[in-house]
Structure formats: structure tokens, C-alpha cells
Amino acid sequence: MKVLAAVTLALGLILINFSTCYGDLQVGFYKGKCRNEVDVEAIVRGAVTARFNRDHSAVAALLRLCFHDCFVNGCDASILIDGPNSEKKASPNKSVRGYDIIDEAKAAVERECPGVVSCADIISLATRDAVALSVGWRWKYDVETGRRDGLVPGIVDLPSSRITVSESIQVFADKGLTVTDMVMLLGGGHSVGFTHCPFIMDRLYNFNNTNMPDPNMSPFLLSTLRSRCPPTGARDNQEVNLDQNTFSAFVVDQSYYQQAMMRRAILRVDQELAFHPATRDLVASTARGSGFPTQFGAAMNNLGRVGVLTGNQGQVRNRCNVVNPITSNSTPAVANKASTSATTTAATNNTSTNAPTATTNNASTSAPSTAAANNANTSPMLGDINPMA
């Protein structure tokens, strides 16, 4: 059974406060900026709540959407832009969803406070609210706002599902994120959502080209996953929950770390976090303790600071999927990125190198179909979710 932060069960909602200002970002940026003192955060919350009540998988969808936006071109909502060369069309983003949730929230905000609230901020607010909904509002973290929207899509280069811990540390460091941020973002994000069989076939049948399963996977999990992902046959679109506890598969909590400690993590990088010298102590302490909500909230805020546009940079889009006509108040997004540095006090030092490519050979005993092979480049970082039917 999952263990939520121990004190939350007795105290109800815990509001996690962080520093109220980071450069031009601040908690409550929109207070007093709309007519009639409209609470834009409450409007976003209403839209997200309506969707979550119909579809609990919205939390994983929004976490992944937020991660893919921030990791590509900074947190500038460039992932929302339509077009033949848009980030949406890139292979790693083909199974990203949640765009309609952002559109619904944006439309609701525009009706009450037109031309003020950026799509980039709506992504951050909506993701926070989805996380809070997943735990029944027992805790939530503050979100800094004040971002502007980018004008151009970025080049998509996301980490692979088969990335190692050492490679992952380098990728996150390249974005100004710490080891602690990485462990919290992976842990929180991978406590919800699902992946597909092609992403884990090597762990089940041919780990590191040994023709053997991953020795770090528990025999029980190995048997369970092999029955769901056979070496041959129709299994390319078979879904595998990242959280094997079906009663809490839509709850963002520390179960990820508990399962990793029991050698029951689904993805390679998730399992390796429990054994790598740079991460194992943090994984163990998070699995045992009650500090996950605070640390996860801090990591989400650090992610939300990556490559932001503020002030007169970028623009506030009228519709999230279309860039407004360029005016003198809209400056190119690429040339005006704010600092991507984001640190937490509990972090260990990292070295920053270029991110590895997002393609890795699938070492299953049977080659996946073309469609599955294309899908295998989709990063399930923070939850690999297919679009809803």
C-alpha cells in the first residue's frame, strides 16, 4: 500500500511554500492584474478539476506535457504551437496529450482576463493542480508565475527511456537541474502513467545483449511483465503501468522509490537509481520518510524556471496553439532566454554535458513493428501516455 507523506493524513491540506520570487517569476504574479480581482489560478483549477473528475490519467498527461515543454525549448509553451515543423509533430511528442486541457483552461481564463495570462503559466498551474487532485488535495506546492510564451518551436531532443543514471544526471545538469531535482522529477512522474512493452523488452529478455533478463529486476516482476510482454506476438501496443499497484496508479507519491528499493521499478533508469552511488541514499530516504511532497514541489519549481521568457520577451498568446502576429512588444524567444540555472539546497554537484540522443536499440528477441519502433523513440520520462481514443 502506498505511503503518502505521514503527517498529511492527520493535518489535511499542506501548502508547501517556496521562495516567492525567482528573477521575474513570483508566486501570485497575476494578483491584481485582472479586472474585478479575478482569480486566474482558481479558473485554471476549475478546468483541470473538471477533466480530472472524468479522467484520472490527466495527471500523468500534464506532467509529461510540462516536462516535454520545459526540456526542449524552456518553459515557454512552444510545445503547444501547431504547424508542420512543430514540436507536436516530433517523434518523441507524438503520444503526448493534454493539449485540450490547456486549451480549455486558457479559454476560460481569456473570458475573464483577456490577454494577460500566458499559456506557459497555465501549463505549470494545471500540472500543479492535477498533482494536488491526485492526492486528494492533501498537499500542494506553490507555483511561480510570470512566464511569457515563446514564438518558435524548438528542436526536440529528449532523453531515451533506456538512458542510464549517469547519462540522466548529465542531461538534467545541462538544464541547470540537480541530482535531487532529477530523482524527484523521475520519482513523482513515474509514480503515475504507463509505458509500452517495446521500451522494456531488453530488460525482460536481452539485457545489455546478454540474452538474459536484467538481474536487478525482482523475479516476481519479471514473471508478471513477461506474461504481459511476450517475446513474440502482438505486444507492441500493450500498456504497462509504471506503478504496479493498481489501487494507486494515478497518485503522485513516493511509491516509486519504495518499488525501486524492492527491485520492482519498470524502466531501467528507475531501477538503477536505487543502486547508483549518486542517488541511492536519496531514493532510500525518500522511500522511508515523509519529505517527498516538499522535495517534489521544489523540483517542479526548478523545472519551471528552465529557459523562461519574462518581461517583454516572447508574448502572451491569445490562443495557445497559434503565435500572435509579431509586434514591437514581442521579442524572439531564442535570443532572450532567462537563466536556466535552478538549484536546491539538498542537491549534490553535477557535471554538465551534452544530452545523449534519444534513440537506443531495442534488444528484444523479436523486432517490433515499424509503428512500435517509431513509438520506441518516445521518451516515457515523466510518464509515457498514449492519446485518448
321-339 pLDDT, tens digit per residue, is 999 997 655 554 443 344 3
Active-site choice (56, 68, 196, 276): 68
CATH 1.10.520.10 residue ranges for the chain:
12-157+307-336
- Of residues 44 and 360, more confidently modeled: 44
In this prediction, residue 338 carries a pLDDT of 40
Q: Given this model, what pLDDT does residue 121 score?
A: 99
Average pLDDT over residues 193-209: 94
pLDDT at 93 over 70: yes
Phi, psi angles (nearest 5°) of residue 19: -55, 140
What is the average per-residue pLDDT within 333-346?
A: 38
- pLDDT at res. 90: 77
- Which set of grid coordinates corresponds to residue 68? 516535454
Q: What is the pLDDT of residue 285?
A: 97
Binding positions for heme b are 190
CATH class of 165-292+346-375: mainly alpha
Q: Inform me whether the pLDDT recorded for 128 exceeds 50.
A: yes
CA 353 to chain centre: 21
Out of 201-215, 225-239, 343-357, 372-386, pick the least confident: 343-357
Q: Which pLDDT does position 331 carry in this prediction? A: 52
Query: Which segments are annotated as binding site for substrate?
Result: 159
Residue 307 backbone phi and psi in degrees, to 5: 55, 35
Give CATH 1.10.420.10 domain extents, the chain.
165-292+346-375
Residues contacting 192, CB < 8 A, separation 6+: 57, 59, 60, 63, 134, 242, 243, 249, 250, 251, 252, 383
Asked whether the predicted pLDDT for residue 3 surpasses 70, the reply is: no
Mean pLDDT of the chain: 81
pLDDT confidence of residue 385: 35
Q: Which CATH number fits domain 12-157+307-336: 3.40.1180.10, 3.40.190.10, 1.10.520.10, 3.40.50.12710?
A: 1.10.520.10
Residue 243, pLDDT above cutoff 80: yes
Which residues are documented as binding site for Ca(2+)? 69, 72, 74, 76, 78, 87, 243, 246, 253
Who has greater pLDDT, 368 or 104? 104
Quick check: 177 and 351 in contact, CB under 8 A? no
Residue 68 is a catalytic residue: yes
pLDDT of residue 22: 53
Higher pLDDT, 118 or 6: 118
Does the structure show a pLDDT above 80 at 132? yes
- Cβ–Cβ < 8 Å for 254, 292: yes
Residues 252-278 have a mean pLDDT of: 95
> Has residue 155 got a pLDDT over 90?
no
Q: Tell me the binding residues.
A: 69, 72, 74, 76, 78, 87, 159, 190, 243, 246, 253
pLDDT of residue 378: 37
Q: Output the pLDDT for position 78.
A: 94
What is the per-residue pLDDT across 64-84, written as a single tens digit (0 to 9) for each? Answer: 999 999 998 899 999 999 988
- Between the two ends of the chain, the Cα-to-Cα distance in Å is 30
- Say yes or no to pLDDT of 352 above 90: no
Q: Which pairs count as long-range contacts for 345-351, CB under 8 Å and 24+ apart, including other chains? A: 346/180, 346/295, 347/178, 347/179, 347/180, 347/181, 348/178, 348/179, 348/180, 348/278, 350/169, 350/170, 350/172, 350/173, 350/178, 350/179, 351/169, 351/170, 351/173
**Predicted confidence (pLDDT) at residue 86 exceeds the cutoff of 70:** yes
pLDDT on residue 136:
93
- In the sheet with 25-27, reading across from the earlier edge strand, the strands are 21-22, 25-27, 144-145
Give 371's pLDDT tier (boundaries 50, 70, 90).
Answer: very low
The pLDDT, as a whole number, for residue 23 is 61
pLDDT (0 to 100) of residue 283: 97
